[in-house]
Amino acid sequence: MDGADNRPHVHLFWLRILRSQKKKVIPSIFLRGAEMSEHVVKTTCKSCHGGCRVLVKVKSGKIVHIEGDPSSLTRGTMCPKGLASIKEVYNPSRLKYPLKRVGERGEGEWKRISWKEALDTIAEKMKEYIEEYGPSSILIGQGTGRGYNRYTFRFARSIGSPNVLLPAHFCYAPRLAAFGITVGGRLYCDYHGWGGEYPKTIVHWGKQLEYTNADGEMAVWFLRALEEAEHFILVDPKATPVAHRADLWLPVRPGTDAALALGMLNVIISEELYDKDFVEQWTHGFDRLRERVEEYSPDKVSRITWVPEDKIKLAAEWFATSRPGCIQIGQALEAGNNSIQTLRAIICLMAVTGNIERPGGMVNWVPPETGEMEEFALEVPPPEELPIGADRYKLLALPPFAMCHFESVCEDLLNGERRIKMMHLQGTNPVLAYANSKDVLKALLNVEFISVVDLYMSPTAKYADIVLPAAHWLETDDIYDMHPRFFVSAIVRAVEPVGEALPDNVIFNELGKRLAPKYWFSDVYEMLNYQLRKAGITWEEFKEIGVLARTGKEHYYKYKTNYWREGGGFPTPTGKIELYSTILENLNYDPLPHYREPNESPYSTPELSEKYPLILSTGGRVPYYFHSQYRQNPWLRELQPDPVALIHPETAEKYGIKDGDWIWIETPRGRIRQRARLFEAMNPRYVFAQASWYYPEKPDLGIFESNANVLTSNKPPFDPCIGSTTFRAMLCRIYRCDGGE
Model confidence over 113-145: pLDDT tens digits?
Answer: 999 999 999 999 999 999 999 999 999 999 987
Mean of pLDDT values over 73-93: 95
Q: What is the DSSP letter of 682?
A: B
**pLDDT higher than threshold 90 for residue 37:** no
Q: What is the DSSP letter of 502?
A: B
Q: What is the pLDDT of residues 458-513, one digit of tens each?
A: 999 999 999 999 999 999 999 999 776 899 999 999 999 999 999 999 999 999 99
Closest CA to 139 of 420, 445, 402, 434: 420
Q: Strands of 547-549's sheet, edge to edge?
A: 478-480, 487-491, 547-549
Distance between CA 88 and CA 630 in Å, rounded? 8
Q: In which band, very low, low, confident or very high, does the pLDDT at 146 lie, cut at 50, 70 and 90?
A: confident
Q: In which band, very low, low, confident or very high, does the pLDDT at 217 lie, cut at 50, 70 and 90?
A: confident
Q: What is the pLDDT of residues 164-191, one digit of tens each?
A: 999 999 998 999 999 999 999 999 999 9
* Cβ pair 334, 719 in contact under 8 A: no
Mean of pLDDT values over 290-295: 98
DSSP, collapsed to helix, strand or coil, labels residue 337 as coil
DSSP secondary structure string for all residues of 24-90: PP-TTB---TT-TTEEEEEEE--SSSS--EEEEEEETTEEEEEEE-TTSTTTT---HHHHTTHHHHT
Residue 95 has, within 13 A of its CA and on its CB side, a CA count of 28
For Cα atoms 686, 671, 404, give the angle at the middle one, nearest 5 degrees: 90
> For a pLDDT cut of 70, what percent of the chain falls above it?
95
Distance between CA 40 and CA 55 in Å, rounded? 6
Q: Cα torsion at 445, 447, 448, 449 (round to 10°)? A: -100
State the span(s) of the chain assigned CATH 3.40.228.10. Answer: 184-366+568-586
Mean of pLDDT values over 259-282: 98
State the span(s) of the chain assigned CATH 2.40.40.20. Answer: 606-736
Residue 338's identity, in one-letter code, is N
| pLDDT at position 147 | 80
* Cβ pair 277, 314 in contact under 8 A: no
**pLDDT higher than threshold 50 for residue 25:** no
Task: Return contacts of 437-444, CB within 8 angstroms, 24+ apart.
Answer: 437/703, 437/704, 437/707, 437/709, 437/710, 438/669, 438/670, 438/704, 438/710, 439/410, 439/414, 439/714, 440/410, 440/709, 440/714, 441/703, 442/414, 443/409, 443/410, 443/413, 443/414, 444/413
**pLDDT higher than threshold 90 for residue 9:** no
**pLDDT higher than threshold 80 for residue 515:** yes
Mean of pLDDT values over 301-330: 98
Q: What is the pLDDT of residues 599-630, one digit of tens each?
A: 999 999 999 999 999 999 998 788 999 989 99
| pLDDT at position 213 | 82
Mean pLDDT of the chain: 93
* C-alpha separations of 277 from 281, 282, 283, 354 in Å: 6, 8, 10, 9
Distance between CA 524 and CA 513 in Å, rounded? 11
Mean of pLDDT values over 393-409: 94
| pLDDT at position 614 | 98
- 238 - beta bridge partners? 682
Residue 408's identity, in one-letter code, is S
CATH class of the domain comprising 184-366+568-586: alpha beta
- 373 - beta bridge partners? none
Q: What's the distance, CA 623 to chain centroid? A: 15
Query: In whole angstroms, how large is the CA radius of gyration of the chain?
Result: 25
Per-residue burial over 695-726, b = 16 or more CB atoms within 10 Å of its CB, e = otherwise? bbeeeebbbbbbbbbbbbbbeeebbbbbbbbb
Q: In which band, very low, low, confident or very high, does the pLDDT at 2 lie, cut at 50, 70 and 90?
A: very low
Fold for the domain defined by 606-736: Barwin-like endoglucanases (2.40.40)
**pLDDT higher than threshold 80 for residue 206:** yes
Point out the least confidently predicted range of 19-33, 46-60, 700-714: 19-33
| pLDDT at position 148 | 84
**pLDDT higher than threshold 70 for residue 5:** no
For Cα atoms 645, 649, 652, give the angle at the middle one, nearest 5 degrees: 70
| pLDDT at position 739 | 64
Distance between CA 78 and CA 51 in Å, rounded? 10
